Structure formats: structure tokens, C-alpha cells
Amino acid sequence: MLYFTKTPNIVKRIFPKLTWNIPSEKKVIYLTFDDGPTEDITHWVLSELDKYNAKATFFCIGKNVMHHPSIFQNIIKKGHAIGNHTHNHLNGWHKISKIYLENIDKAQEVIDSNMGNQKSVYQHLFRPPYGKIYTNVAKKLLKKNYKIIMWDVLSGDFDLSISKEKCLENVICNTTKGSIVVFHDSVKAANNLKYTLPKTLAYFSKKGYQFEALK
């Protein structure tokens, strides 16, 4: 499985309208969680974040929101941000643009219908599954006032071929001020996540970092 743990600067320059990190002189990190909400895993993540008063951003799959509305609403109650991750976790390079955009719209309808009174202050954030999105689709989403959130650091928690220690190393060695870091609140990633997230929170908290949600 090939992927960049640290997104190369040249990639960021080629796609400048996508958000890869948040330039900052402050000690701020943006933790993000893809693929939820998931029973048990998301609850555990929320509990770990609470220990450090950490805020994060959850890029939710629409069908999972449908299946777990109370978990989704708990994410919101705790002050975390919400993003769209398509309704069915589609690979943007394997679907024609019309179908892909319709799937995003379907997820957004589910997300909006479960936002409650938070909908009025909610920004539309989108992250393409696998980081794969056609340029024409990105342009259409930007015109619809979505912010397309990519990442600066990929933990690799989803990668079953790496050890949990390597997953932690990926985060600790590559995260800097303003980094957007990707985790997954999914069953597949649980083993690496449950080792890496508590240690990440402890390590960077000790160094004076704050954890904020994306806006």
C-alpha cells in the first residue's frame, strides 16, 4: 500500500485551492477522523478527546450517520466539527462526476437533517475518500462553498501492514504547527488508533499544543 505519510509541498502547490494544513505560528493541531460514526469506536475517540479538552473534526459517511444518529449528535454536542465524506465512501476516480456529486449531496442531506440547531453555524467541509477527487468535481464543490479538506499528515492507522508503533511514529515525526492529521474512527483502524491517539494527545499536550476543530 503506497501513500505519503507527510504530504509533499509540491502536491500542495499543484492543488492550492484544497486545504492541506492551516498555517499558524501558534501551537495548534487539527485532528480529523474519517469513516464514522461507528458504534463503540467513535464513543471511545470522544472520550479520549475529552481528557485533553481537545476538539476535532469528524468526516462522516452519510449512511453511518443514518445508522447511528445519536452518536453523530453526541459529536456535535461535544463541540466538534462535522465534515462530509460521501454517503457510501465512494472512490472519486472510480465514479463518473454526476454520480459522485449526487452521493455527496445525499450525505449532506442526511448530515443537515441531523444537525439540529447547529445547522445555522455549520460550515460545509468535505474530504474525498482516499483523497481521490477529479479537478472538475473539486471546482463544482468550491463553487457551492464547500471547503475541501485534505491533510498534512496521514497516520496510516487504516494500514494493517504497519505496526501500531509505526503508526504513532508517523504522527509524532511529521506533525507540526497547523498540521491537519488523519485518523479513522473505524473498526479496521481500531487497533492502531487505540494505541496511537492517546499517545499523540499526551505527547503534544506536554509540548504545549492545543487541538482545535476546523472551521
- What residue ranges do the domains of the chain occupy? 25-32+52-145
Q: What is the pLDDT of residues 193-210, one digit of tens each?
A: 999 999 999 999 999 999
User: Considering 80, 85, 87, 184, which one is annotated as catalytic?
Assistant: 184
Q: What does the alpha-carbon distance between residue 105 and residue 122 come to, in Å, rounded to a whole number? A: 16
- Has this prediction a pTM greater than 0.85? yes
What is the predicted pLDDT for the residue at 120? Answer: 47
Catalytic: 67? no
Catalytic: 50? no
Give the pLDDT mean for 90-97: 92
C-alpha pair distances (Å), 183 with each of 35, 99, 186, 199: 9, 27, 9, 13
What is the predicted pLDDT for the residue at 42? Answer: 98
Domain 25-32+52-145 = CATH 3.20.20.370? yes
Nearest to 53 by CA among 212, 215, 214: 212
Q: What is the pLDDT of residues 103-161, one digit of tens each?
A: 999 999 999 999 877 654 567 999 999 999 999 999 999 999 999 999 999 999 999 99
Q: What is the pLDDT of residues 48-79, one digit of tens each?
A: 999 999 999 999 999 999 999 999 999 999 99
